Structure 1
Amino acid sequence: MSGTESPVLAVLCGDRRPPDMEPIERAATVRYARADELPDALRGADALFVYDFLSRAVPGAWHAADRLRWLHIASAGVDPVMFPELRDSDVVLTNSRGVFDSAIAEYVLGVVIAFAKDFAGSLRLQQQRAWRHRETERVAGTSALVVGTGPIGRAIARLLGAVGMRVTGAGRRARDGDPDFGRVVASEDLTRHLPDFDVVVAVAPLTEQTRGMFDARAFAAMRPGARFVNVGRGELVVTEDLVSALRGGHLSGAALDVFEQEPLPPESPLWAMENVLVSAHMSGDFVGWRNALVEVFADNFARWCGGRPLRNVVDKRLGYVPSTP
């Protein structure tokens, strides 16, 4: 942005306003809005901060965006705002890449170890006051395929590698010598490579190419007894096909933080499966994550006001920020 006029910033925030906004409020006219108020907030606004990153309100309010030049979403995934009118516009889109990398990687490492050491079984036996000796698995020496080679996938690869797992990535382009994965296979060849791994971690962005990529064919291709972890997007998975693979015993377990429908409906069979770990879309939500999201936006806001290049600019054709390892 240039000039001396104070910018107008619309903030989609639901019932919870973002913290630490005082410096931005001193530099801009800030309009906080719930979903139904967003059209009014967008009229004459120069920028939009989608703090309520799960909201689907932006496409329906887009007709009122008569002056918008920049949209920032407080998440790594941009699918809630990736609609044709935005994609075809000159509005710059940025995301909050980098905030959740380490926390999600820790979650993935945690569930991998929890399955291998059967922590859930130990808890059930403890609740029964039952002393039952069992043998558990080693993690070191097992193999993992991380589907998605952006910063979150790379953080996952580093942590899994640190405990002795052999980690491979799956991304747009096959290559060797990657600094974090070593080897990256092409996602378009996913089913050919799935039989080679003990654990498959889904962290790919949601695009038309990745929607439903984990279906009956993909699960059937996985190694018998393999485990599946989804920390990407629920829509990457055809849930019925995953349930069938778990019920049939082809997969030995799944850790799921995201779902096709959220909240996960009470009638979902996933709740009652002893070989499934369910968490409420929280794998990246560490203490202080909301403040961290505002810090990323505030940095970009200062850049935008000063006419400097923005960080985390999304390629709207791809649907994510291109990685350059």
Structure 2
Amino acid sequence: MNEHTTSATERIAPGHKRLRVAVANPLHEESCRRIVEREPRVTLLVDPALLPRMRHRADFSGDPGYLRTAEQRERFHALLDSADALLGIPGGDPGELARAVRANPGLRWVHATSAGGGQQVGAAGLGPHDLQRVAFTTSAGVHGSPLSEFALLGILSGAKDLPRLQRLKERREWSDRWISHPISRYKVLVLGFGGIGREVSRCLSLLGASVTVMSRKAGAAHPDVERFVAPDALGDVIGEMDAIVCALPGTDLTTHLVDERFLAGVKPGVTFVNVGRGSVVDESALVAGLRDGRIGFAALDVFEVEPLPRTSPLWSLPNVLISPHTAALSADQEEGVADLFADNATRLLDGHPLKNVVNTVEFY
């Protein structure tokens, strides 16, 4: 086991200024060093033998074929149970998270390496006492830039009729010219205004698009947003939109928000992009809309069931771009997670509010 520390390790308590952190997901050595350099009061407890091998940068799940022996599992649990905080949800498994929280009365904080860690916290079935005792945070915001780029890819693909260009190339056909649709004249609806929604809005605004945002927490005016609308006012604006970007978390309130009724009101030929959660979209309604022309093009990074079943009609529809939930990955994502964790560790040690705290009512 490696301990990244600069002094003796001691249990954090009132008056103490150290934080023992068990690394529960794979993390590169340089990322571990980055954390303790930024916050030297952190002690990282790491045993690479107890974690799956990373296949690439920011591969926090690791090799799916990795299995711990009974002896390794016992050591891994002992490591988690000795810590004040966890970096990562063990194995991404809500059951393992529940075990770690209940077995360790000194646990104060769990940081998920994903933006959607709130769903795993909800699935752990923790009681009110544990949800109050332990702070849960996510890596929301780290993925905003690559996901906004995927959203732009989807909108541009719809605006420039990528499926038509692909068909012409396959046929080696030089067709008549046709009118293009400039993004600078587009009206785009962004569903959700968290880290991803804000970055998508910023990028669209820079291209000259008119951005409308649906958010339950819309507040003061924002330079990248022309207007905010509440969920119950979507019907007043949806028919105007040339493109819709879903950047919503998966909660009980957002499940199947994009359904048959929603899609019945869209402008024919609208482009739809989902970089939020697959549960927000009723895929049967989406497929129907893609087939009858209500949706001209869809770019999807997330799905109701993942991996997307081979029997899904989405695979065979020519006006669909499918990304296997990989649009958020980038070469610098792991550094972003490390920096966010180090910043939150400083906040915890100094008694300041944490960033990206999970809503333990709706779990996002």
Task: Please classify the TM superposition score into its range, dividing by the shorter chain length.
Answer: 0.7 to 0.9
Q: Which residue of 2 aligns with 1:323?
A: none
Change (3 A) 1:116 1:316: same
TM-superposed CA distance for 1:234, in Å, is 0.8
Distance 1:140 1:21 in 2: 43
Distance 2:32 2:326 in 1: 23
Distance 1:41 1:272 in 2: 47
Which of 308, 330, 335 is the aligned partner of 1:291? 335
Structure 1 position 42 matched with structure 2 position 53: no
TM-superposed CA distance for 1:86, in Å, is 6.2
Q: Deviations over 1:5-56 (max 9, x none)?
A: 864423332xx43451136578425155559746544323311111678544
Q: Which residue of 2 aligns with 1:226?
A: 270
Which of 94, 100, 111 is the aligned partner of 2:137? 94
Q: Which residue of 1 aligns with 2:251?
A: 207
Q: Deviations over 1:184-204 (max 9, x none)?
A: 101233344322212111101
Q: Which residue of 2 aligns with 1:190?
A: 234
2:32/2:44 contact within 8 Å kept:
no
Amino acid at match of 1:125: L
Residue 354 of structure 2 aligns to a residue whose secondary structure is coil
Change (3 A) 1:53 1:114: farther
Distance 2:221 2:35 in 1: 43
Superposition TM-score, scaled by structure 1 size: 0.85
What pairs up with 1:1-325 in 2 under 5 angstroms?
A: 1-2=12-13, 3-4=15-16, 7-13=19-25, 16-19=26-29, 20-22=31-33, 27-28=42-43, 30-31=45-46, 37=73, 39-50=77-88, 55-61=93-99, 62-77=101-116, 78-83=118-123, 84-85=125-126, 88-135=131-178, 136-173=180-217, 177-320=221-364
Change (3 A) 1:67 1:295: same
Taking only the aligned residue pairs, the percentage that are identical comes to: 34
Superposition TM-score, scaled by structure 2 size: 0.77
The number of aligned residues is 318
Distance 1:183 1:176 in 2: 10
Amino acid at match of 1:9: V
RMSD: 2.8
Distance 2:204 2:351 in 1: 40
1:205/1:319 contact within 8 Å kept:
no
Change (3 A) 1:318 1:261: closer
Q: Rg: which structure is higher?
A: 2
Distance 1:6 1:175 in 2: 38
Amino acid at match of 2:136: L
Residue 294 of structure 1 aligns to a residue whose secondary structure is helix
Q: Which residue of 1 aligns with 2:3?
A: none
Residue 185 of structure 2 aligns to a residue whose secondary structure is coil
TM-superposed CA distance for 1:143, in Å, is 0.9
1:42/1:64 contact within 8 Å kept:
no
Amino acid at match of 1:49: L
Residue 357 of structure 2 aligns to a residue whose secondary structure is coil
- Provide structure 1 residue ranges, at least 5 long, that are not aligned to the other structure: 321-325
Amino acid at match of 1:79: Q
1:228/1:253 contact within 8 Å kept:
yes
Q: Which residue of 1 aligns with 2:6?
A: none
TM-superposed CA distance for 1:4, in Å, is 4.9
| Greater mean alpha carbon deviation, residues 23-32 or residues 177-186 | 23-32
Change (3 A) 1:12 1:240: farther
Amino acid at match of 2:33: E
Amino acid at match of 2:341: F
